[in-house]
Structure formats: C-alpha cells, structure tokens
A and B are shown apart, each in its own frame.
Chain A
C-alpha cells in the first residue's frame, strides 16, 4: 500500500460521505413523490405531538409512502433520542 493510499483510506473520503447522504435524502424524497400534498404538514404536526412527550431533533419524524398493489402504506418513523447508558 502506497503512502498515498494510506492517507486516502485512513479517513472516509468526503465523496463517500456525500454519496451516503445523497442516497438517504433521495430515497426519502422519492418515497413521498406522487404522495398527497399534506405529507409535509402532517410530518410537522406529528413532530409537534412527539415533542410534547420527549425531546427530539428536527428530522425525528419521517413519513414515507409505499405503493403496493391496490393500496398505499404510510410508514411513520420516529427516531427517539439516544439513551444515556449510565
């Protein structure tokens, strides 16, 4: 392994970070494409409800729409804050 390769592999390249982030956001945005216009608003209101009970980040609630034959499935993901292991 050359010195050049060593430096390259020692840290995750910024391009690979970019690729991972893009994959996630593009999948998310595709998931709601063609879905009803109320999704963003609903996401916001769900976030407000969750925040009544616990502290979460701005992107803690994710609503996705899966198209199935004959019916659509709405999937709501709520990411809770990391637990303090004490």
Chain B
C-alpha cells in the first residue's frame, strides 16, 4: 500500500513545493519508492524545483484522461534512485482534476509498488487543494511563523478533519504534522516573530520540523536541486531531520536557537 502524504497550507508561498521536493527526495534516499505529484493545475512549478522541467512529456491530467499511462508521465529522477515526479498540467481548465480521476491515479501508484506518494497542494481552499488532501493518510501542514499563515493552517486542519475521505468514511483520522518553515531565530529573540512554542500552542499539532530561513533554498531552486541534497546546508539538514521524524526516528530540533549560529555560518547560509 502506498502511503499518501499531502503537503498543504492554505496560504501560498510558505514553502509547500520546496518541502514536497525535499521530503520526497529524503524518502527516496532512504530507499522508499516515492513519487511527488504536483496538484497545482495551471501553475506547474514542482518540475523546476526538482530540476526535471525539460523532461516533461505527459502530465497528471493526461493520465486522468487516459491519454497517457502513469509510467509514461512519471519522470524518473536521475540523481536519486526510487524517486519519480508527476508534473501538473498547464491547462487553464480548473475542472481538469476530478475526485474519481485523482483516486484512480493514486490507486495506480499503489499497484506499481510505490511506498510513498507526496501530494504538493496548491494554495487556497478550492478544488485543487481539496483534491490534494482528500485521499491523504498523512498531512504535513506547512506554516510560516506569521499571523495569516498560522490562521490558514488552522483552517486547513479543519478541512482535513471534515472533508477528507477518512473523515467522510469515519476511518481513522489523517495523521497530522506541523512543519514550520522560514524560521528566523534572531527575529524570534527580538520579539518580532512568533516562536515555535507560540505556533505549537495555537495549532496543537505534533511538530515534524522547523526549517530555518535559508539562503540555501534559493540557491537550490536556482539549480533545480531539492535543498535536502545540499547536505551541508542548514535547511537541507533540517529537512533531513524532518524526514527522519516522519519515519518515526527521534531527532533533536536544530537551527532554532539564534546564539548557536556563528557569524560565518550565517554568511554562508550553512
């Protein structure tokens, strides 16, 4: 059975795609057969972050419409074994994704022996976002330490617990994780930014990880390399910790304390 994990947030630009790319890569690096699926119909971007944009032939909607087989549309990563990308369609047709179609494709991943399917959700609470989370077994709610992002995260938690398949069928609820990204310990110390504890107190969802605001993320996206592959970088290491926790390992939080960050490491974004 493929485990389906949605990366969601409500608010846009908080780091869902960055996180989907990093976490799927981390799972594949550990030997799990993993696919990462772009649900952002019309705004395909995961392909760029994964560095496979020039190899897109077919997309998610082609597979739903039986215009291509899943195996034809999936792009196999050349750097990491076991890692596959399913790009979003560029169509403007917002109804291109249907619940039936998404369910069919997700079922195919299971048949093809995938261990994990990571669903990179679009922003908002409309159809695309709802379909990305509908079939999920687990949800990673990405939140920035900032008022509108935290509020939106709470809204998404509400939707996860009421409008998902598991909720509708009275199944065991979706396993929820909180991933705080773009964290700046220096600003938390200055009282300018919500702390990890503040966000946890408001949302009360188990913490999967804290990803610091990092120069390395922009550089990795420029190069089309998931930041987790930059294993010397702070953000890469923080994502690696998050993947380990997702798999049940215990890892201490890092990069949450301003004082431990040296002048040089700050310069290097490491």
Contacts and interface: CB of A to CB of B under 8 A. Distances in A.
Contacts of B191: 8, 13-16
A22 B195 contact: no
Contacts of B195: 15
B154 A29 contact: yes
B158 interface: yes
Given A13-B191, A14-B192, A21-B147, A30 B154 contact: yes
Interface string A1-14: 00000001000011
B162 interface: yes
B7 to A, nearest CB: 21
A34 interface: yes
A55 interface: no
| A interface secondary structure, majority | helix
Nearest to A23: B202
B150 interface: yes
A30 B162 CA distance: 12
A26 B154 CA distance: 7
B193 interface: yes
Given A19-B202, A30-B158, A25 B151 contact: yes
B154 A18 contact: no
A33 interface: yes
Contacts of A8: 190-191
A39 B151 CA distance: 19
Interface of A: 8, 13-16, 18-19, 21-23, 25-26, 29-30, 33-34
Interface of B: 146-147, 150-151, 154-155, 158, 162, 188, 190-195, 198, 201-203
**Lowest 6 A-B CB distances belong to which pairs?**
A13-B191, A33-B158, A19-B198, A26-B154, A15-B191, A18-B147
